[in-house]
């Protein structure tokens, strides 16, 4: 089982929330039980784009007979790295603007 932190929506406020990806129940979305729990118990929602991406990764893993967990680590890790790099570039732009 792999642990990821995603920004979830809590009444219009974004906050990090930990999700777990493992060997999902075949008849359900890989995050369905966690999404239901988050909604009922905490009033939060996993963003649709995260739900869609995880479902697509499950489909790709099944089609290619690869580990769903490992594919998520690879794909979500790459997405996080891109996000961090974009954030770093934005920070650089802010620094430059502030030094003028």
Residue ranges per domain, the chain? 2-98
* C-beta separation of 72 from 4 below 8 A: yes
Mean of pLDDT over the chain: 86
Pick the more confident residue, 40 or 76. 40
Confidence of residue 92 (pLDDT cuts 50, 70, 90): low
Q: How far is 57 from 90, CA to CA, in rounded Å?
A: 29
Q: What is the pLDDT of residues 9-31, one digit of tens each?
A: 999 999 999 999 998 888 999 99
Helices and strands in the chain: count of H runs, count of E runs: 3, 3
**What pLDDT, on a 0 to 100 scale, did the predictor assign at position 99?**
45
For residue 6, count other CB atoms closer than 10 A to its CB.
19
């Amino acid at each position: 089982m792999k642990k990821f932190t995603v920004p979830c929506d809590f009444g219009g406020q974004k906050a990090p929330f930990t999700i777990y990806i493992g060997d999902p129940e075949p008849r359900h979305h890989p995050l369905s039980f966690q999404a239901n729990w988050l909604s009922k118990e905490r009033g939060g929602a996993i963003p649709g784009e995260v739900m869609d991406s995880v479902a697509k990764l499950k489909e790709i893993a099944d089609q290619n007979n690869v580990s769903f967990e490992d594919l998520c680590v690879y794909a979500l890790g790459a997405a996080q790295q891109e996000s961090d790099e974009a954030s770093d570039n934005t920070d650089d732009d802010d620094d430059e603007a502030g030094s003028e």
